[in-house]
Amino acid sequence: MPRKTKPKPTDAAPTAADPTFASLGLSEPVLRAVEDAGYRAPTPIQAEAIPLVLKGRDLIGLAQTGTGKTAAFTLPLVDRLITGPRRTRALILTPTRELCVQVEESVRKYAKFAELDVAPVYGGVPLDPQQKALRAGVDIVVATPGRMIDHLERQNVVFDELEVLVLDEADRMLDMGFAPQINCIVAEIPPYRQTLLFSATMPPEVEALARKYLRKPVVVQIGLRSAAASTVSHAVYPVPADRKTALLAELLKRDGMDSVLVFCRTKHGADRVVRQLQHEGVAATAMHADKTQAQRTQALSDFKDGKIRVLVATDIAQRGLDISGISHVINYDVPQQPEDYVHRIGRTGRAETTGDAFTFMAPDEIAMVRTIERILGEPIPRISVPGYDFGTVANG
Ligand code: AMP
């Protein structure tokens, strides 16, 4: 029977270094939404901010996009609104229409099991549908400042019972000249509210805004920590796209590469890697959606029994994989979603053997790796293998 490795139970005693979403004090419908989103563990800003927001504190979060800041304020916000009256109780102000839509989508995702209504409010589109939504009654409004004022003037919504105000990307809102609109909106909101301000930077204007509208705020600052604290050893290998298989074959020659799970973006990519590895005499098998269930089960059991050393899987296959004792995870392609990286890395780090996680990064994947590093809250060390990295190849 294949052994199963399950994530740690949520009631395991949390340590400061290893918080779980449950240990932060979030309630069940919110935890379900988090699980549904595929997040294994809180990002650094979530771990710090969520307990404070749940306590009702005002908070200044110094964090840029890509750190998981939206969930850092939305999860405790949803938690708070689950109980209490169905009124408009929360307003999230964002600088742009794009961010407004993005935040609204996140709110919907995190409020999925909480039965809360959300309305997005931004300019450049007709007022009517927004007006209808607001008048029907919503729990949470996500808005850009200019359009929010239009609706307030038309009395499409009142903020008499608003409890939580979030100023997202406050520095950008001020840069865009929204200070007068923000002042006008805040004047409509009761003073005994909770106010959360997020900003990538803290110029004097943002400080002034915080002084004006926040009460005894705690400041949570998320910089990139050093990678040394990490339990899993991650590394990024810069390599041109057409040298990835050669690098993989090279790494597989090293000691300790006993059971290696390789992730590729596409089925064809996975098949090609398997063919090339087999050509080099490496026992490898592919696992993806085109394989029958019987083939997949066989591949998995051969991998677990050590008959094949390398299993090459696609993104689609990865969620169902439940394997212990992997020595290495290799991201042949950089995962498209940061949460997939966290998922995959979890497969080695949380299993009884500590694994290494390597990510092959072609030049066009650099931006994606940066996003992942922001989510992790730490940089991933780069390892150059002479003859395979960009520099040496370009020079050679
Ligand atoms: P944000 O900084 O809020 O724009 O979030 C950036 C990305 O991180 C989004 O794609 C989220 O879905 C993702 N994300 C947020 N929290 C987590 C988490 N705890 N684990 C993995 N991914 C996350």
Closest CA to 173 of 141, 204, 202, 199: 199
Cβ 355 under 6 angstroms from ligand 1: no
Q: Distance from the CA of 185 to the center of ligand 1, in angstroms?
A: 28
Ligand 1 atom with the shortest distance to the CA of 41 = 19
CA atoms within 13 A on the CB side of 141: 32
Closest CA to 60 of 162, 210, 213: 210
Output the residue whose Cα is nearest ligand 1's atom 13.
Answer: 68
pLDDT tens, residue by residue, 12-27: 344 445 689 999 999 9
Structure tokens at 116: 């809360």
Q: Is the pLDDT of residue 349 over 60?
A: no
Q: Which CATH class is domain 3-222?
A: alpha beta
Structure tokens at 7: 């994530």
Q: Is the pLDDT of residue 354 over 50?
A: no
At residue 278's C-alpha, the angle toward residues 340 and 352, to 5°, is 45
On the question of a common fold for 3-222 and 232-395, the answer reads yes
pLDDT tens, residue by residue, 364-382: 999 999 988 888 777 888 8
Ligand 1 atom with the shortest distance to the CA of 342 = 21
pLDDT tens, residue by residue, 104-163: 999 999 999 998 999 999 999 999 999 999 999 999 999 999 999 999 999 999 999 999
Structure tokens at 64: 């840029």
Pocket test residue of 110, 142, 198, 339 for ligand 1, highest count of atoms within 8 A of CB: 339
Ligand 1 atom with the shortest distance to the CA of 46 = 19
Residues whose CB is less than 8 angstroms from the CB of residue 374 and which lie 6 or more positions away in sequence, other chains included = 64, 65, 66, 67, 224, 338
Q: Is the four-CA dihedral 294, 300, 306, 307 of positive or negative sign? A: positive
CA 138, CA 6: separation in Å to the nearest integer? 39
Q: Distance from the CA of 205 to the center of ligand 1, in angstroms?
A: 28
Cβ 146 under 6 angstroms from ligand 1: no
> What are the residue ranges spanned by the domains of the chain?
3-222, 232-395
φ, ψ for residue 149, nearest 5 deg: -65, -40
Neighbour tally for 66: CB within 10 Å: 14
What would the DSSP string read from start to end of 34-45? HHHHT--S--HH
φ, ψ for residue 143, nearest 5 deg: -145, 155
Provide the pLDDT confidence category of residue 321 given band limits of 50, 70 and 90.
low
CA 215, CA 209: separation in Å to the nearest integer? 11
CA 236, CA 221: separation in Å to the nearest integer? 26
Q: Distance from the CA of 276 to the center of ligand 1, in angstroms?
A: 35
Ligand 1 atom with the shortest distance to the CA of 42 = 19
Bridge partners of 167, per DSSP, are 93, 197
CA 362, CA 342: separation in Å to the nearest integer? 20
Pocket test residue of 20, 375, 376, 378 for ligand 1, highest count of atoms within 8 A of CB: 375
Cβ contact 21:31 at 8 Å:
yes
Q: Is the pLDDT of residue 324 over 70?
A: no
Neighbour tally for 379: CB within 10 Å: 16
Output the residue whose Cα is nearest ligand 1's atom 6.
Answer: 66
pLDDT tens, residue by residue, 55-85: 999 999 988 777 889 999 999 999 999 998 8
Q: Distance from the CA of 68 to the center of ligand 1, in angstroms?
A: 4
Output the residue whose Cα is nearest ligand 1's atom 14.
Answer: 68
Strand order, beta sheet including 164-167: 118-121, 140-143, 90-93, 164-167, 194-199, 59-62, 218-221
φ, ψ for residue 87, nearest 5 deg: -135, 175
Output the residue whose Cα is nearest ligand 1's atom 22.
Answer: 339
Neighbour tally for 219: CB within 10 Å: 12
Average pLDDT over all residues of the chain: 85
Closest CA to 209 of 161, 157, 168, 156: 168
Closest CA to 310 of 259, 247, 251: 259
The region of weakest confidence among 142-151, 192-201, 231-240, 275-284 is 231-240
Domain 232-395 CATH (choose: 3.10.129.10, 3.30.420.40, 3.40.640.10, 3.40.50.300):
3.40.50.300
Q: Distance from the CA of 5 to the center of ligand 1, in angstroms?
A: 24
Cβ 22 under 6 angstroms from ligand 1: no
Output the residue whose Cα is nearest ligand 1's atom 11.
Answer: 68
Strands 356-361 and 233-238: parallel
Q: Distance from the CA of 243 to the center of ligand 1, in angstroms?
A: 31
The region of weakest confidence among 112-121, 161-170, 272-281, 386-395 is 386-395
Three-class DSSP category at 234: strand
Bridge partners of 260, per DSSP, are 310, 328
